[in-house]
Each structure stands twice: as C-alpha cells, then as structure tokens.
Amino acid sequence: MLDLLRYPFMRNALITGSIVAVLAGAIGYFIVARSLTFAAHAIPNIGFAGAAGAVLTGILPVYGFFAFALAAAVGIGLVGKRARERDIVVAVLMTFALGLGFLFLSLYAGYAQRVYGILFGSILGISVGNVVVTGVAAAVAMGLLLAIYRPLLFCTVDPQAAAARGLPVATISALFLSVAALAISLSAQVMGALLVFTLMVGPAATANRLTRRPGRAILTAALLGLAYVWLGIGAAAISGRLPVSFMVSAIAFAVYLPVRIWARPRRRPGSASMSPRGAGAPDAPAEEEGCSAS
Amino acid sequence: MLGLIASDIFWNAAAAGTVAALAASLVGYFVVLRAHAFAGEALTDICFAGSAGSALAGFNPLIGMLAFSLSAALGLGALSSRARGRDVETGMALSMATGLGVLFVSLYAHHSASHATAGMNLLFGSILSVRPAEIRLMLVCAFLALAALGAISRPLLFATLDPVSARARGLPVTLLSISFMLILAVAVAMCVLTIGALLALSLLVAPPAAALRVARRPASAMALSAVLGLIVVWGGLLASFIGPWRHPPIGFSVSTSASMAYFIAYALGKRRRKRGGGEGRHPSRETESEGKAE
C-alpha cells in the first residue's frame, strides 16, 4: 500500500481526491438539506455534454464541463420553486443536454477514450497542474460557500421566514447551485460524471442521519467523504481493475444502509426548528402538493 | 436514402420504438403526476447496471434489466412510497446501481476488444441492433405492464391526486404505490433497451409532461401523451434515417424532439394561463372532484 504512494499519479489522485471530498462534504450537506438530490445528479450529466462538446472543439474538457454545469445550476436555481415542477424541468433539461452530448460524441472522430474517462472517472490522468488548479478552484468555492453560509443556512432551514425577512432566496439558491456546479466539476475528474453524485450525496446523507447540528453534519460528511475516497483509491490501486468510482459508491452505500435502518436522527428538545425539513426525518409528514402517496 | 427505410433494421427499430414509446408515455403520465421523475431516473440507472451485468454474464439484456429493475422497484416502493426528488434513499439506490454498472462495464471492457463502444451502447442505446426475439419479449412485457396499469388506473389516479382521502376510503395506497413502481420498472426497461440508460428518461417524462401542460382531462392528457410519444420516436427515427444532412444518432434526435415538445407545450400552457384560461395545465382539480363523486 505504502509503495503505491511513490507513484506520482497516486499522490496526485489522493491529494485531488482529498480536496474534493472535503468540499463535497460541505456542499453535500446543503444539497441533501435543500432536497436538491435530483439536481445534483442532473448537473454532472449536463456537464458531461459540455465536456463532450469541448473535446470536439479541442478545448480542455473541464472547461466545457464547468460551463454547462454552471448554466444548468443557474437555470435550475431560478426555475424551480415547487418540487414537482422542478423535477420535470430538471429531467427534460438533463435528457436534452445528454442527447446533445451524444451528438457531440458521434461527431467526434476519436470517439471513446477521452470521453470514457469523463464519464467513468480516472485516477491515472491527474497531473500536478491539475492538482494546483483543483486546489485553487476548491479554495474559491469554499470561500464563496463561507461568504453565503449564514443566509444560506437560514434559507435552507426556514425558507418562508427567510423570504419574509427580505432575503433574496432565489438569488442565494442560484448562487449556491453555482458553487455546487464548481465543486461537481472538480470532483468529476476523479469520480467521473456518472458518479460525482455519490460523493456529493453519500457522505452527507449518512451524516444527516447521525447528527442534526449543521456544523457537525458538515464536518462528519467531510470526514466520511475523505475516508471513502482514500479507501476507494486505495482499493482501486491495489486491485488494479476496480474503478475508484465503483469503490466509493459501494462504500457509501454499505455505510449508509445500516445507518438509515438503525440510526434515528436525534431530535434536540429545544431546537426542533433547526432541523432542515424533510432532510433526515424518516417520519416527517409528506409536505406540499399532496400528490405523494404516503 | 429511402433504401434504408425498406431495410429490416429500420422496421425492427420502429417496432421496438413504438412499443417503448407507448409504454413510456402512458406510464409516464402517472410518473409526472406522482412526481416520480427521480425514481424513474434511478430505475434507468438500475437498468444500466442490469444490462451491463447481463452483457458480462452473456444473458439477454432485457432479462438482466428486468431482474434488476423489478427488484429495485420492490425495494423503492416498500422503502418509501414518497420517492421524489428530495429522496435521499432513491439517490443512494441510484448511486449504488451506477457504481455497479460502471464496475460491470469496466470488467466487460477488459475482455472485449472494443473498450469503450461496449459501454457507450449500454448508455446511449442500441435501437439499431434490436433483434426480433427481443421485440417479441418487449411486446409481451409492455402488454402485461399496460394491462396492469389499466387495471389499477382508477384507484391509482385517486390515490395519486388525493392520498389522504384515498387512505381514508380504505384504498391500499402502499400496495398501489408498489404495483405502480413495478409497472414503471418494466416501462423503464423498454426505454433503456431502445434509447439507452442516459436518455430513457426523456421518453418517460417529456411527452406526458408536455401533454399535462395543455390537456385538461386525464383521458385526453394520456391520449395526447401517447400520440406525442409516438411522434417523438417516429420523428426521431425518420430524422436519423432520411434527410440530406449527416445522420444524427437516434438517441439525439429522439431526446431533442421530446424536449422540444415539452418546451413548446410549456410556452403554450403559459400563454393559455395568461389569457385567463384558469387552471390551464392542471387536470388535478377536475379529476379530484370526479374521484370523490365516484
């Protein structure tokens, strides 16, 4: 295991993986709490279309990925207030973008290899330059998140009160999704467009079940994400043929399942209002439109 | 140009596409009403894992997909009858399934020469290589699914629009929700077989969402959805087979025309509402009273 650390690609992969895992933990907490799971799945898929377009035009795929992901994030943030409407718009936009991505792929004569890496992720192709860029971009994303942290938390926990206080709820939502798009674009290098979602949602979902305090949940999610990524990269490197993204998703699922079944989120007596609605409560009543069947 | 239309490939593709479009657009009506878009997306990824697994093991892809998606549908239906965008459970199932799919594809790619095309076909569909035997199997499955949907459609509609009074009337709401998930699993498998895991959602969501924006009554919305689904698939097929331009891939033309249908209906629905047509796109009001008067 330690021998592997001598390879520069392993060091680069581990550093990049650690950076994105911590970032994903912080972003993921809000994604889960704001019930943006579907959006977090759609944004990287849309980003994939951008990356395919970038490959076609000879730009670095990361830039195309980020451009499309950002556009999707702003669009989703501005469009949807009601959950049902938002789901439909997200679904249509995502399949539209994926179709476009498929067209780009078919126009690109070189077809698969590079695109394959974008979809499935790889730990091999990360250079020192990538590590630096990832670090800087992650610092920017973290800084933005800290800058909007308090209003964002307020909007997440109690959107009505936040709106009543005159907070620009829609702008904050779009801003947060833009930061998420940046984080997703960075994480996609290691995890691939298909499974970035796992890193965003897996650790945060588990953390949300373990604690109700936002700060603690973010910390737990970041630590869990770090552990998943290290284990995933380690297992992938040792086995030689298991993809990192599969390992991370398997670990995330294996940890989440028992926690989901046994851990009841602790409700602190005085602070019931601190619980983000619908995020972690298994017995929260189905809210809104009344079209759920529970 | 027209020679292609006379070929068996075209007619096989058209038959498979027609079956998938009908199943998807009718089941999709309930997907949109019940806000199950994210569950549908999760099932497409589960089908991706199933078809990759059966490619690895040498089965008929449809068998693998149905095995995976039906068991996942049971789990999703039982675990949470409120599987919607916010649902972390759906997301975790999706991420585990995608991880498995990625694993299967990368194992499969190890012992097949064409590394990437194998995975790409699973992701973007292989409607041109559908064999007559598969079409017969599709027909049987689609018939069973639609018959089951027809049998439960009235109580399902009631339970969808007004779950509280449906439960009060003694309708088995949870059982209905599980049976619907099973039907959905079959419809999703059809879509994935024809236009691939990444684009299947467009057939499932866009035509019914468009129909719901313009039609007022459930019956007309379902009929319009089926017609739109057929137009989208046939239009996509024709655009890819004839025409003076470089032939775009079928997945692209189908998903693009589906999204266009939704965007147009969105604009139409908006104008109608502005003109004062009242509840232009929500049949829920009328049907709710209908259901209660029953």
pLDDT at A230 over 50: yes
pLDDT at position A219 is 92
Inspect the interface and report whether the beta carbons of B90 and A37 lie closer than 8 Å: yes
pLDDT at A232 over 50: yes
Convert the pLDDT of each residue in A88-99 to its tens digit: 888 899 999 988
Inspect the interface and report whether the beta carbons of B86 and A278 lie closer than 8 Å: yes
From the list B138, B169, B173, B167, the residue with the least C-alpha distance to B152 is B173
User: Measured between CB atoms, which of B95, B101, B199 is closest to A95?
Assistant: B199
User: Measured between CB atoms, which of B87, B99, B106 is closest to A250?
Assistant: B99
pLDDT at position A215 is 87
Residue B263 identity (one-letter amino acid): F
Instruction: Locate the chain B residue with the closest alpha carbon to A34.
Output: B86
Inspect the interface and report whether the beta carbons of A37 and B161 lie closer than 8 Å: no
Inspect the interface and report whether the beta carbons of A291 and B38 lie closer than 8 Å: no
Please state, as a whole number, how many other Cβ atoms lie within 10 Å of the Cβ of residue B129: 11
User: Measured between CB atoms, which of A105, A119, A291 is closest to B33?
Assistant: A291
Q: Which of A61-65, A277-281, B42-46, B235-239 has the highest mean pLDDT?
A: B42-46
Q: CATH says A3-274 is which class? A: mainly alpha
Inspect the interface and report whether the beta carbons of A38 and B38 lie closer than 8 Å: yes
pLDDT at position B111 is 62
| Tokens matching residue A30 | 């809000």
pLDDT at A150 over 70: yes
Lowest model confidence (mean pLDDT) among A80-89, A236-245, B58-67: A80-89
From the list B265, B157, B261, the residue with the least C-alpha distance to B218 is B157
State the smallest CA–CA distance between residue A267 and chain B in angstroms: 19
From the list A216, A175, A189, the residue with the least C-alpha distance to A65 is A189
From the list B112, A241, B40, B260, the residue with the least C-alpha distance to B120 is B112
| Tokens matching residue A236 | 């992938």
* Cα–Cα dist B274/A23, whole Å: 43
pLDDT at position A220 is 92
User: Measured between CB atoms, which of A92, A115, A243 is closest to B103?
Assistant: A243
State the smallest CA–CA distance between residue B50 and chain A in angstroms: 15
Inspect the interface and report whether the beta carbons of B98 and A100 lie closer than 8 Å: no
Convert the pLDDT of each residue in B5-34 to its tens digit: 667 778 888 888 899 899 999 999 998 888
* Cα–Cα dist B223/B225, whole Å: 5
Q: What is the largest CA-CA distance in chain A?
A: 62
- Which pairs with CB-CB distance under 8 Å and at least 24 residues apart come from A262-271? A263/A209, A263/A210, A265/A208, A265/A209, A265/A210, A265/A211, A265/A212, A266/A211, A266/A212, A267/A212, A268/A212, A271/A212
* Cα–Cα dist B253/B75, whole Å: 34
Assembly ipTM: 0.84
Domains in chain A: boundaries: 3-274
Evaluate whether A89 touches A76 at the Cβ level (below 8 Å). Answer: yes
State the smallest CA–CA distance between residue B15 and chain A in angstroms: 21
* Cα–Cα dist B78/A206, whole Å: 20
> pTM for the full model?
0.84
pLDDT at position A283 is 37
**pLDDT, greater one: A206 or A265:** A206
Instruction: Locate the chain A residue with the closest alpha carbon to B101.
Output: A246
Contact residues for A160 (Cβ-Cβ < 8 A; gap 6+): none
User: Measured between CB atoms, which of A92, A105, A250 is closest to B259?
Assistant: A92
Through-space distance between the first and last CA atoms of chain B, rounded to whole angstroms: 55
Inspect the interface and report whether the beta carbons of B206 and A92 lie closer than 8 Å: yes
Give CA separation, A222 vs A21, A31, A97, B224, in Å: 6, 14, 30, 47
Please state, as a whole number, how many other Cβ atoms lie within 10 Å of the Cβ of residue B136: 11
**pLDDT, greater one: A203 or A268:** A203
> Domains in chain B, please, with CATH?
2-293 (1.10.3470.10)
Inspect the interface and report whether the beta carbons of B92 and A194 lie closer than 8 Å: no
pLDDT, mean of residues B105-110? 76
Through-space distance between the first and last CA atoms of chain A, rounded to whole angstroms: 48
pLDDT at A265 over 70: no
Torsion of CA B179, B182, B187, B193, to 10 degrees: -170
Instruction: Locate the chain B residue with the closest alpha carbon to A119.
Output: B102
Exposure letters A55-81 (e unless 16+ CB within 10 A, then b): bbeeeebbebbbbbbbbbbbbbbeebe
